[in-house]
Structure 1
């Protein structure tokens, strides 16, 4: 019997281990967790924590196509499961029946194919150096889709909230007036620091959360620790990402970006919360203006321009009434019994706090932690101008409130708390906890995380954690500085930076095979050996976006200059594919400074090139991108062209990349002849280098430039050659082959050969249906529909337009309106019923 149970444990372990790290495990996760929790609680929580950590590792390895790491992890997971299942069956043999049911369920899921594991996308390797024109937008669900929730503002329960009922009612009236008039309601709440401007805005949202069902977006517009104000354009960039807008649809120009946001918002009411506004000009580009929408603005400054230019309704936060001040002190201060016995002292404290919520809460926290006579002591201290400021010093009071909890933590939890203080952001994943504390095993790390959560210092946040308040994060840093020796702090910082560097470089290797400056050979070691789930790799980077960007700044500020430029280089393809131009440029500007600190000419040249490419991709003439891109490309060229002409392969590739960038720049400026000259130079720079993809992409670029110059025979030759080269590579590149076909169709259309163009587009659609993103497929269908309509094949044209519109809606693109307009026009001229052969004339 015992042998049978052990065989059962081994079979279940093997079956479940095979699903870990795949979508199949999602259907089993709750069942597995419930089964293992039948054992001893603390022991099972520790085991499940370790299993979840191994699952995360395995998922990342599978997504990146790292088959060697997968082969290493699967037996570890199987052994972990087998050991725990054996222990569980030894303690509770009666669970054998449940285990057999679980085994059957796993086999059914895997055998019947009821789940899809990843998307089967192979490494596309679509870059020559860097250029990836028309890079696939990251697949997203459409905003109106019910299957994906709209972004929502987190509204935590507010304990001890007092007063402002009159102000909230006035805000209700403004909203009601806006709805009645069919306009957006824009409300501007202003008050001195500590008056509760953000609290009242969030309180109002909390009251109406059931009515405000559309997307909700928020942004802090206050200065960062370095005194910089956030750019509205960068905020819109983040909002577009949260709304699932394809990167290819997002305009580069700040004004056009704001207008596009208003177009998106026109589809239905939206909520925007803008906190800590410093200047009115920050606000205007971020207002939706849609009837029924709400914009809530908070500021500690008087900004009459908001009232004058955007019609914001102003509200001023007043001090609390005395009754409410006393009540707040009693509740926060945990004053038990008859509070009227302290009425005089409470009034003196309220006077000292100016009846403002924040200082009242600070004073209340002192009362909650103080001895019985603290009420009278605090009243005396706050009545004296010479001691009032010191008494209410926020940093000291936060420390006074948090120190007891910190000192009560177990040693491992206290170490983790200090490490979190050194982490560059308030949010973090469990993998960085492992990196910061490598000497702790999984059980100890999970126990420390549970203790921090139980102490209300951190809380779960999706697959990771977040510090409950930025002041707690500041306190954790203070504790690290006070309680950890400098060498220990530096070692933790090194591990944090090294962790994010490895994460970025592994993801970069999975996303692209482009040329990078890699003196240590890291990318060769990280090259994928299996299929890559590109959307999942992108999603893993998006979850860590704030941490990765801040890691670049942290590395630069702490003098880890090689890590700085390598981190920025490792984020290049992610920034490119997601259209994250603002962080792309800011991180690479730091990287360029660090490369200079390293005195490494190749690192400097590569950062110049990458910055040039970032400006080329953003292409905002208002922000001077054409000029800046040219300057960076030319600086890169100056650094890689040796006086003796004997360039290394890395220098040749960088020279070719910079020349390619200059060619693309000239084409964007409307100079295809100049572009061709740069392409010829870039191709010549590759002499002696086996770089098939580079040559194929130069053929593609040359073909497009020849079309611009109406040299159609040359264009056709180059574009057919490009297609053949992409298809004949050791690892075929169907995506770029389809791009070459589409460009060939554009040329044949310009040359008046519609039949050839339609045939080429059909071939491109066939390739894209298997290998291409929906956004690009939609564009080809829209184009073919136009050509079919011109040929008189109206029913086929309508079918293409309908399909294009559906695909655009699938990826949440406003370009669906283009397809809808064509269908409306077709219906208007009488051939929307599917009839064929009616000539346009």
Structure 2
């Protein structure tokens, strides 16, 4: 090419480089490199829970490793499923296998509980993929909204990595497929179902049967570790027979005996024999003994811990932190958490989530809920549910205030039997150099499953207004973290509750903020229709300010529909009316939107004037997020 014969430039590279390299002869001005390759390198995720002792699973482990060897030889990813009934040790076997692979898979470990037995149904694959993408270094704001796009990005990121994935408690093969990585990765799936469909994807399915009596005795002996099994062999065999070979039951029975070193195994056998028919809710043959073991653990609890156990069985989500216990039973509730954890009735998930956090094993949760229905009155259950619902509402409101201090929130009232001072505060403060707003957003995102559960079950809680109140408090999270599915669902539930209640203000808020979600997901026509409904409602109610705010929203919808002139007209009206009605912030946002229109039309000076005026107003109003647009 012309000029290259006399060039004195030479491209050279030395040393170790991670990521992209940009080489150029002469550079004038700034350089901005964007795209997936520009992300900062993040350490590999190591998300697998710790492994636990297993017995009599050598054949299954050999089968899993043999399948991996075959897949590796064929150049295929490894997919294995471990199925069996609840409590049989599926996750323990999968973890025992995957942990041995760590030296061969330096790309990391991903883990997801797919929640086949969750109260709100199985986990959404799109949300799980989004969580995996964030673990692999994709910022929340760059996670695509559509499932197909998320899966494509996930497979692109895993194609060149050697990592292992554990998909725990899967509901169906269809739920699993979007979560399978590319490349020569290893994926293990656990499920109560046999998952024959995964064979179509090259998967190898093994089914775990309950332990043999001899293996269960070995597990009991390892749990006790005090010689009682050898000294009382007949009693030990009778005990594991009552446990039906389920490792969960054996471990719980062993833990109770270990706490009473002078008690003979016969006492445990006698107690289980009397109560073996109490696990009726699962209706699976052989599981009655698990219920008996759980009942025995429950009967050994002090009264406060026993009551907390029952009340936590009503919790709408799968996980909860210590402040929930404080809201339910005060400081005594926090102390009772330790008792429940020590009794092996709660699983500590703090290591994975980074906070003081617990969850029930699915069988234990059902047991606790059944006891709540049995021992708590209807009014007591209703008050407990209200306390939990308002706990999440109040703390979401605190987070909202940190993120958007100038936002006009809907009025929120506490339900009957719930005193504001009884609501414990969650720790939403910053750590490791975070801003307060980022920390509050992280808390909302971490608690989103619980907050959404409150929205879904507001009627069951006896407080349908919680649906729109919690949805309103969640508003700052949805656009900032791209939580599009929850955005749509929450506003759908919130709108229904507000309309049934006849609350015009809440109805209009659900319409407008829900319509903004429609715009973000590309449903511009539906978003415009919702804005028009809100405008008509504001006008009918004589709410001039509310109607003026819809001018800006309707302008956004027309802008997304490509109707710039109509959009500019709405923005101009909003920019004129809103400051006169006292809403300087919304008026500034309208001017920002006018600047966007002017910029698209090539009227750069006008765009600069409008944008600068809007920025100054927003900074004065304490809205740095929008001021930085």
1:356-388 deviation line (CA, Å, top 9, x unaligned) = 767887999999999639879999999x9xx9x
1:649 maps to 2:542: no
Maintained 8 Å contact 1:217/1:273: yes
Q: What corresponds to 1:235 in structure 2? A: 128
Maintained 8 Å contact 1:214/1:269: yes
Cα deviation, residue 722, structure 1: 1.7
1:313 maps to 2:204: yes
Q: What corresponds to 2:602 in structure 1? A: 712
Q: What corresponds to 1:756 in structure 2? A: none
Give the 5 Å matches for 1:244-643. 244-266=137-159, 268-291=161-184, 293-308=185-200, 310-317=201-208, 323-324=214-215, 327=218, 336-337=229-230, 349=241, 353=244, 372=266, 394=287, 397-438=289-330, 442=331, 444=332, 446-458=334-346, 461=350, 462-467=354-359, 469-513=361-405, 515-519=407-411, 533-619=436-522, 625-642=523-540
Cα deviation, residue 595, structure 1: 1.0
Q: What corresponds to 2:553 in structure 1? A: 658
CA RMSD, 1 decimal: 4.3
Cα deviation, residue 466, structure 1: 1.0
Where 1:268 maps in the other structure, the secondary structure is: coil
1-structure distance, mates of 2:307, 2:192:
37
Maintained 8 Å contact 2:495/2:510: yes
1-structure distance, mates of 2:239, 2:306:
36
Where 2:229 maps in the other structure, the secondary structure is: coil
Matched residue count: 560
2-structure distance, mates of 1:576, 1:224:
30
Instruction: Provide closer, same or farther for how the CA distance between residues 452 and 272 of structure 1 changes in structure 2, counting only shifts above 3 A.
Output: same
1-structure distance, mates of 2:339, 2:238:
37
Maintained 8 Å contact 1:457/1:467: no
Maintained 8 Å contact 2:406/2:621: no
1:296-320 deviation line (CA, Å, top 9, x unaligned) = 1234445554333x32234344565
Maintained 8 Å contact 2:511/2:533: yes
Q: Any unmatched runs of 5+ in structure 2?
A: 1-37, 415-433
Where 1:283 maps in the other structure, the secondary structure is: helix
Maintained 8 Å contact 1:262/1:288: yes
Cα deviation, residue 255, structure 1: 0.9
Instruction: Provide closer, same or farther for how the CA distance between residues 674 and 728 of structure 1 changes in structure 2, counting only shifts above 3 A.
Output: closer
Q: What corresponds to 1:127 in structure 2? A: none
Cα deviation, residue 503, structure 1: 0.9
Q: Any unmatched runs of 5+ in structure 1?
A: 1-140, 523-530, 620-624, 740-841
Instruction: Provide closer, same or farther for how the CA distance between residues 491 and 359 of structure 1 changes in structure 2, counting only shifts above 3 A.
Output: closer
1-structure distance, mates of 2:139, 2:359:
31
Where 1:437 maps in the other structure, the secondary structure is: helix
1:109-141 deviation line (CA, Å, top 9, x unaligned) = xxxxxxxxxxxxxxxxxxxxxxxxxxxxxxxx9
Select the residue among 52, 72, 80 that pairs with 1:187.
80
Cα deviation, residue 265, structure 1: 2.1
Cα deviation, residue 726, structure 1: 1.4
Q: What corresponds to 1:781 in structure 2? A: none
Q: Which has the higher contact order (CA 8 A, sep 6+)?
A: 1
Cα deviation, residue 521, structure 1: 10
Maintained 8 Å contact 2:84/2:209: yes
Maintained 8 Å contact 1:187/1:313: yes
Instruction: Provide closer, same or farther for how the CA distance between residues 190 and 243 of structure 1 changes in structure 2, counting only shifts above 3 A.
Output: same
The structure whose residues are more often helix, as a share, is 1
* TM-score for both structures, normalised by structure 2: 0.75
